[in-house]
Chains A and B, each alone.
Chain A
Amino acid sequence: MSNGKPSEEHHPMEALLRMDRIPHIWCSTCGLGTSVSAFALALEDLQYDLDKICIVSGIGCTGRVAGYVKLDSFHATHGRAIPFATGLKLANPQLKVVVFSGDGDLIAIGGNHFIHAARRNMDLTVICVNNFIYAMTGGQVAPTSPLGASCSTTPYGNYERPFNIPHLAESCGAVYVARWTALHLRRTAKSIAEAMRKPGFSVVEIICPCSTLYARRNRLGDGLELMKFYHENSIIKHGADPRDVDIDFQSPIVVGKFVDRDRPTFIDGYNRAMTAKLGEKFEPYGVAPAEVHDG
């Protein structure tokens, strides 16, 4: 500033963001900014060709991620990010396809697609941002709201048992399952990179503060206090049995990498089965030109 000219400031993640769409619509202290940063860090680490990565979101606060990320980005209908992504991936298996959406979108209205994509081991990475509430519509109860939590449609406290997302993912067949909070930026980034390297259905859950709705309704304090809560109450336990990572109201949150295993992907299974049955009549599907040796 000494020469009197304004300094040129660049967002460090400019290459990955649609700067013409910034500022974003998310509230201050929302964990979505951090979640997108973790994704950007993961892509930096992976060094994949960004032109070959697609991102698909559904509807909701997290559903807006696709709109801010400068990749081929698709904002689908509510709950349908996974089937949209399935179409992209199967039609061009060379694409890396990431689904970035919220707990309500992926686990309630999209729950059926989530469990079946896990069962099939569709080669997708799902980043599920869990803020325990339907935030975009004003704070209604979600399939992840802890028992007892106040939501606008459970004004006397939630009385339905929530889903434990890592357990759901693991039991349906996901090959990689991790959970972090929005406090764990670098650990989340590392998990996203691992998940994207892993062929098959991988899930990274990010516990995300919503100070505007969830925290305010439940008198949990402001954004800083929520981060302090994560800091004091996150228990890192790699390899924890997903059955044991339920989240109760203001209980400690078990985080870490819970599942990392190998299963044939949908396309692997298809190619194996067809090759066995059809022999030379079948040309393996979706094999990258790079994988074919040109002699």
Chain B
Amino acid sequence: MKADPKGVLTGEHYLDGDHACAEGGLAAGCRFFAGYPITPSTEVAERIAERFPMVGGIFIQMEDELASMCALIGASWAGAKSMSVTSGPGFSLMMENLGLAAMMETPCVLVNVQRGGPSTGLPTLPGQADMMQARWGSHGDYEIIAISPSSPQECFDFVIDAFNLSEQWRVPVLVMTDECVGHMTEKVVIPPAYEIEVVPRRYTTLPPSEYLPYRPDPDMVPQMIKAGDGYRIHTTGLTHDERGYPVMSAECQEQLVRRLVEKIRLHADQIIRFEEDEIEDADVVVVSYGISSRVAVRAIALARKEGIKVGHLRLIVVWPFPEKRIHELAKKIKAFVVVEINYGQMVYEVERCAHGQAEAILVPHGGGWVHDPADILEKIKEAAR
């Protein structure tokens, strides 16, 4: 279906990434936002607070991030498309209820405008060190989808994509941006509503007597209802059967957790997105995402000038990880150079998926700024040797 024109600010704008995230949410049909102020993400909440009263949405500034994330889940079960935004310390607090959202299979979107960490770290400066937390941050086994924009335009586009993925697969979807993109101002083109594709919620057509809240469709995703429709369902963070009732057994646990994991893993090809450039003849492939991909482009251009055959693999959907593609490339190339603003996170995934057939070299950065292209170039040269 197409977007509701009410929330779509069609036109050419000059926006920073945070504001663009807010507009992406509005265009996707988000009408519930719960959040807690935290630098460098607060501008998203501020824009939503200003815009929502005019489009029939409801904004609430909660008492903390624990409450914010939990309120998203409640709102989603009442039928709203819901969203929040945070950064490092708040992201940590949200892990508790991110797990609940995964367990209850609740569509919702969470934007993390990453800053330097650990702990309070660098509130006003960028980092990309929450990537593994995005994947593994809540306890227990579950799968998640995460997408990483590298520009304000992509903040707008990818927040819409995040909502669509979240509705299709009934998982919380994370938008992993960073302070640099969040506070970078560029042109953002917002298309007319009729050009914006919006995935509707998977509401059941079954009558209450036949409906089971956790009976999966063939694609492993169950159909949803909303509170107040007369289905009188039960849903819980406990291990549950197809009725949504708690069952404390290894068998039920196996059935549920396996489905939560496999509904994403077995459909990873439909979810994963990346971009490749100059990869055909490459001996070395730079792997990057978010803001780091824009710096990597410069380093790759410099390396090509020096005659090094280097290509670029930019991750768009970072989780699930493009395991197959890395493995294919590993068979053809000498090494991967992974550019990320941390001391090694996604590089371990590259290494794992390369199965020892190509080296994975990290260009580390502690956070607070982006890489110097010269540092990346140096590693490309090292890799090409």
Using a CB–CB cutoff of 8 Å, the interface residues on chain A facing chain B are: 18, 20-21, 50-52, 54, 56, 66-67, 70-77, 79-80, 82-92, 94-95, 112-113, 116, 266, 270, 274, 278, 281-283, 285-286
Contact between A90 and B232, CB atoms less than 8 A apart: no
Residue B230 is within 8 A (CB to CB) of chain A in the complex: yes
Contact between B67 and A113, CB atoms less than 8 A apart: yes
Whether A83 touches B67, Cβ cut-off 8 Å, given contacts A91-B58, A278-B53, is yes
Residue B74 is within 8 A (CB to CB) of chain A in the complex: yes
Contact between B228 and A51, CB atoms less than 8 A apart: yes
Contact between B80 and A91, CB atoms less than 8 A apart: yes
Among B54, B72, B228, contact of A52 (Cβ-Cβ < 8 Å)? B228
Residue B100 is within 8 A (CB to CB) of chain A in the complex: yes
Cα(A94)–Cα(B226), bound, Å: 13
Cα(A67)–Cα(B246), bound, Å: 8
Most chain B C-beta atoms within 10 Å of own C-beta, residue among A52, A79, A83 = A83
Q: How many residues of B sit at the interface, in one of the four size bands?
A: 35 or more
Cα(A92)–Cα(B76), bound, Å: 10
The 5 A-B pairs of least Cβ separation, nearest first, read: A87-B74, A75-B236, A91-B78, A87-B75, A87-B71
> Residues of A contacting B100 with CB < 8 Å?
76-77, 80
Contact between A51 and B232, CB atoms less than 8 A apart: yes
Most chain A C-beta atoms within 10 Å of own C-beta, residue among B31, B100, B227, B243 = B227
Residue B91 is within 8 A (CB to CB) of chain A in the complex: no
Cα(A80)–Cα(B95), bound, Å: 13
Residue B34 is within 8 A (CB to CB) of chain A in the complex: yes
Contact between A88 and B245, CB atoms less than 8 A apart: no
Contact between A66 and B232, CB atoms less than 8 A apart: no
Contact between A86 and B78, CB atoms less than 8 A apart: no
Ordered by A's residue number, 28 sampled pairs between the chains whose C-beta atoms are within 8 Å are A20-B243, A56-B74, A66-B234, A71-B232, A72-B77, A72-B227, A72-B228, A72-B232, A74-B235, A76-B100, A77-B70, A79-B66, A83-B66, A87-B34, A87-B71, A87-B72, A87-B75, A87-B78, A88-B75, A90-B75, A90-B78, A91-B78, A91-B80, A92-B79, A92-B226, A92-B227, A112-B64, A285-B53
Residue B150 is within 8 A (CB to CB) of chain A in the complex: no
Among B60, B66, B230, B231, contact of A90 (Cβ-Cβ < 8 Å)? B60
> Residues of A contacting B79 with CB < 8 Å?
91-92
> Residues of A contacting B232 with CB < 8 Å?
50-51, 70-73
| 8 Å CB interface, B65-111 against A | 66-68, 70-80, 82, 96-97, 99-100
Contact between B67 and A75, CB atoms less than 8 A apart: no
Residue B233 is within 8 A (CB to CB) of chain A in the complex: yes
Q: Which residue of A lies closest to B103 (CB)?
A: A77
Task: Known A-B contacts: A73-B235, A91-B31. Give 11 more (CB < 8 A).
Answer: A51-B229, A51-B230, A67-B236, A70-B232, A73-B233, A87-B32, A92-B78, A116-B62, A278-B54, A282-B54, A286-B58
Whether A90 touches B235, Cβ cut-off 8 Å, given contacts A52-B228, A54-B228, A83-B71, is no
| 8 Å CB interface, B193-230 against A | 226-230
Contact between B234 and A73, CB atoms less than 8 A apart: yes
> Residues of B contacting A80 with CB < 8 Å?
66-67, 70, 96-97, 100
Contact between B54 and A116, CB atoms less than 8 A apart: no
Chain A, interface SS category: helix
Using a CB–CB cutoff of 8 Å, the interface residues on chain B facing chain A are: 31-32, 34, 53-54, 56, 58, 60, 62-64, 66-68, 70-80, 82, 96-97, 99-100, 226-238, 243, 245-246
Contact between A283 and B56, CB atoms less than 8 A apart: yes
Q: Which residue of A lies closest to B208 (CB)?
A: A51
> Residues of B contacting A83 with CB < 8 Å?
34, 62, 66-68, 70-71, 74
> Residues of B contacting A90 with CB < 8 Å?
32, 58, 60, 71, 75, 78
Cα(A9)–Cα(B235), bound, Å: 29
Instruction: Name the distance in Å between A165's Cβ and chain B's nearest Cβ.
Output: 18
> Residues of B contacting A95 with CB < 8 Å?
78, 227-228
Whether A72 touches B231, Cβ cut-off 8 Å, given contacts A80-B67, A283-B56, A285-B58, is yes
Cα(A278)–Cα(B56), bound, Å: 13
Cα(A76)–Cα(B58), bound, Å: 22
Q: Which residue of B lies closest to A80 (CB)?
A: B70
Contact between B233 and A76, CB atoms less than 8 A apart: no
Q: Which residue of A lies closest to B235 (CB)?
A: A74
Whether A74 touches B77, Cβ cut-off 8 Å, given contacts A87-B82, A91-B82, is yes
Cα(A67)–Cα(B240), bound, Å: 11
Among A66, A71, A77, contact of B96 (Cβ-Cβ < 8 Å)? A77
> Residues of A contacting B243 with CB < 8 Å?
20
Instruction: Name the distance in Å between A83's Cβ and chain B's nearest Cβ.
Output: 4
Contact between A88 and B53, CB atoms less than 8 A apart: no
Cα(A51)–Cα(B77), bound, Å: 14
Contact between A75 and B74, CB atoms less than 8 A apart: no
Contact between B60 and A86, CB atoms less than 8 A apart: yes
Instruction: Name the distance in Å between A114's Cβ and chain B's nearest Cβ.
Output: 10
Q: Which residue of B lies closest to A90 (CB)?
A: B58
Instruction: Name the distance in Å between A124's Cβ and chain B's nearest Cβ.
Output: 11
> Residues of A contacting B56 with CB < 8 Å?
283, 285
Contact between B70 and A67, CB atoms less than 8 A apart: no
Instruction: Name the distance in Å between A68's Cβ and chain B's nearest Cβ.
Output: 9
Contact between A86 and B67, CB atoms less than 8 A apart: yes
Whether A281 touches B54, Cβ cut-off 8 Å, given contacts A56-B74, A80-B70, is yes
> Residues of A contacting B77 with CB < 8 Å?
72, 74, 87-88
Q: Which residue of A lies closest to B100 (CB)?
A: A77
Whether A91 touches B74, Cβ cut-off 8 Å, given contacts A76-B100, A77-B97, A80-B67, is yes
